[in-house]
Amino acid sequence: MNEILSGMRSANVADESRRACNLQEKIACNRVRALQSSVTTLNPPVLPSPANHIWRAHVTHVESAGHFWAISNDTKMLSNLRYIQSCIESAVGRCSAPYMNQKDIRIGQICLALYRDSDGGAFFYRVRVDEIYTNELKVKALIYFVDYGNSEIVKASELRLAPESVLKLPMLAVECMLAEIKAAKSTTGEWDERATQWMKKNAQNSDFLAQIYSVVHGVVRVKLIKLDYVGSINETLIAMGYAIKSEESYLSRQNHELRAIYSREVDDYEGNTSINALCSTLSLSSSGLKSGHGKIQLRGPDSPLLMRFVALTRTGFSKGVRVEPISVNSTALDLEPQSSYDRFLVASFVSLNANGMAVTLRNTTLMPSIPGLMALCLLMFCPTAELRVSRDLTRYIGAVIGLGSDSVSGYPIYPDEDIETEFDIEFHQEDLILINKIRFYMNVILSEGEDLIPTRLADIQKRLRYLVGILLNVERECCKGEAYLNAYRWNQLLPENLLLPDTGCAFTDSEEMVFPLINGVALQSETITNDHRDSLSELKSLEKRLSVKVVAPNSVINKECKMCDVFLKTASDLRCHLSCDTHIQKELRI
């Protein structure tokens, strides 16, 4: 296998630098996107059958730590790869693959391109022209190596005509992604460059057993298991801090369930590699529908991913919310429907309809998908807040936010606009300290006003950016929201349980502050029983025994971490749980 792929798969940092330079040239080019219906295209790659849970694959190209391309290690695919390379070498050697006229090159066309690896070797491979760029007299093309997965920008004059013999076989490179994990400390989903470099070093040009989770839109989501390695690449990235566990998307989970049903119900499967036949058997038959005449009002089309918003205030909660139709957020889609935390939309203008039953939002911004962002923003910028705690006083569960209550009567000052929010993330004392620091510096700016010298203002702004960055970049565990019994009521905390923030001599009276600091609560430690200790000791011993033996990651253990109330089915679940932050924090309390 390695001999077959040696001419292509020895790219290193130098190749990445060359690709970066090519992309800079791409910016200065004018794009031509005229698709030609007459262009001969290849069939897509053969995807793993629904009956296959394990797929032997060879990783040919790594785009990022969680995104790569691979080809199957089975005999048929290797035979096809040998045949393709033999035909190309023969055509080039006999001069039957001439250089193409750059004016005749079309988007989607299959041709041959030269690839030079870091060892000095140069070989021709099948490529697909994805884009064409023109810059004065120069014509360049973005090409995709259909049998390996990488892309490059080359001179159009360097492309050769592909022989007919290699146009009959499908593409070989299959696009893959790591399942049930995502990039850590990233709001955009981009992987850390160090993680990508580690993945290239340890996965590229290597053979793996790929445990298939799902196949959606031609992308195979897998857990990569190296043949001479205990554990998986997915678990290793989590252990190194480059990744965190994440639920799969709705379509991925649906495909995973269908594949499980398929493997249970179908013994023999022949035909293409999709599971459309199975999907159709699960669909409602039209034979049971009654015929008739009449008129009905049709609505839609609607997407299950379409976001629907509700107002946060007490009176607004019962009203309908509508984003103006000309706004891009009127059809905002939740790209992570599996995530349990709330999303946050802000509007600079809100209007009420004639009957007072709905509001229209204008000039809206959908805030980034950061766990707990809504609760953190409310606490940072609200007039005042009172934190909610669980009944056993062990954790924060939410807050009531608004103008506060009257100091004499105790009634809310403006109850209609109060907000009762439940925390969908773990909120700790350290988070409250950071929020109070941010509110303190905002008070300093507002109190000094025009007397604040520019250098001091710039220094405070720098500190604010730093503190907000720390607050938002903390990795937070999502949790199920807990409703507070006396919602929208103020002064629910006993004075002896309060932790009053100290501002020193900066502000002598809280009324001097536009953003009063938020009182904390003296939380109680969670009760750790001897049963919890025994359970932890048993799991630690089991992990030690498994690390000595060579045990498959999916080996069934059926254990429970009583301290965290989590059931652990496999050895892989055990390793991941013992290394997660939530378990470690509870373990440190013992």
pLDDT for 23 equals 46
Burial of 109 (0-12, 13-18, 19+ CB in 10 A): buried
Indicate the SS3 state at residue 366: strand
Phi, psi of 478 (to 5 degrees): -75, 150
Q: Over 90: is that where the pLDDT of 464 sits?
A: yes
Q: What pLDDT, on the 0 to 100 scale, is given for residue 288?
A: 37
Burial of 318 (0-12, 13-18, 19+ CB in 10 A): exposed
Q: What whole-number distance in Å separates Cα of residue 126 and Cα of residue 567?
A: 49
pLDDT at 535: 73
Is the model's pLDDT at 268 over the cut of 60? no
DSSP class per residue in 227-252: TTSSSBHHHHHHHTTSEEE-PPPHHH
Residue 62, beta-bridge partner list? 68
- The pLDDT-based confidence of 549 (bands split at 50, 70, 90) is low
Residue 341, pLDDT above cutoff 90: no
- Mean per-residue pLDDT for 304-330? 85
Of 416-425, 506-515, 517-526, the poorest mean pLDDT is in 506-515
pLDDT value for 120:
72
More confident residue, 291 or 384: 384
Q: CB–CB of 313/300 below 8 Å?
A: no
Q: With residue 91 as reference, give the H or E element that holds it.
A: helix 75-93
* Least trusted range by pLDDT, from 32-36, 384-388, 552-556: 32-36
Band (38; pLDDT cuts 50, 70, 90): low
**Per-residue pLDDT tens digits for 179-193:** 999 988 776 778 999
For 64-108, write each residue's pLDDT tens digit. 999 999 999 888 888 889 999 999 988 888 888 888 888 888 888
Report the pLDDT averaged over residues 50-54.
83
| pLDDT computed for residue 552 by the predictor | 65
Look up tokens 């992604």; give the residue. 177
Helix pair 581-588, 571-579: axis angle to 10 deg? 60
User: Tokens 């990022």 identify what position?
Assistant: 64
365-370-375 Cα angle (round to 5): 80
Question: Residue 478: what pLDDT?
Answer: 79
Alpha carbon separation from 403 to 125, 314, 384 (Å, rounded): 68, 13, 6
* Amino acid letter, 301: P
381 has pLDDT over 90? yes
Question: What's the pLDDT band for 463 if we cut at 50, 70, 90?
Answer: very high
Amino acid in the structure at residue 430: E
Residue 357 neighbours by CB under 8 Å, 6+ apart? 319, 320
Residue 54 is predicted with a pLDDT of 87
Render 495-552 in DSSP notation, one character per residue: GGGEE----TTS-S-GGG-SSPPPPEE-PPPPP--HHHHHHHHHHHHHHHHHHHS---
Residue whose tokens read 């988070």: 431
pLDDT score recorded for residue 266: 55
Q: What pLDDT is stored for residue 291 in this prediction? A: 45
Range in 230-244, 271-285, 312-326, 366-380 the model is least confident about = 271-285
Q: Which of 113, 121, 110, 128 is nearest to 160 (CA)?
A: 113
pLDDT band at 385 (very low <50, low <70, confident <90, very high): very high
pLDDT of residue 99: 87
Cα gap 285→179, rounded to integer Å: 33
Given a cut of 50, whether residue 273 has pLDDT beyond it is no
**Poorest-confidence range of 52-61, 121-130, 553-562?**
553-562
Q: Say whether pLDDT at 283 is over 60.
A: no
The reported pLDDT for the residue numbered 582 is 67
Bridge partners of 18, per DSSP, are none
Task: Report the mean per-residue pLDDT for the chain.
Answer: 80
Q: According to the model, what pLDDT value does residue 303 have?
A: 75
476-500: average pLDDT: 86
On whether the CB atoms of residues 235 and 572 are closer than 8 A, the answer is: yes
531: phi then psi, degrees, rounded to nearest 5: -65, -40
| Percentage of the chain modeled with pLDDT above 90 | 27
CA-based nearest residue to 496, from 469, 463, 468, 521: 521
Whether 551 shows a pLDDT value over 70: the answer reads no
Query: What DSSP state is assigned to residue 39?
Result: -
| List of residues 6+ apart from 248 with CB closer than 8 A | 179, 180, 213, 214, 221, 256, 338
Mean pLDDT for the stretch of residues 266-282: 45
- Tell me which of 136-140, 345-349, 441-445 is least confident: 136-140
Interval 212-219 mean pLDDT? 92
- Judged against a pLDDT cut of 90, whether residue 174 lies above it is answered with yes
Q: What confidence score (pLDDT) does residue 550 get?
A: 60
Tell which residue, 387, 418, 405, has the closest CA to residue 484.
Answer: 387
Per-residue pLDDT band for 274 (boundaries 50, 70, 90) equals: very low
pLDDT bin (cut points 50, 70, 90) of residue 1 is very low
Report the pLDDT averaged over residues 448-452. Answer: 82
Q: What is the pLDDT at residue 505? A: 67
Cβ 310 vs Cβ 348: under 8 Å = no
Distance CA 236, CA 576 (A): 9
Q: Write out the E strands in 6-109.
A: 30-32, 54-64, 67-72
Least confident of 112-121, 156-165, 429-438: 112-121
Predicted pLDDT at 200? 92
Mean pLDDT confidence for 129-146: 87
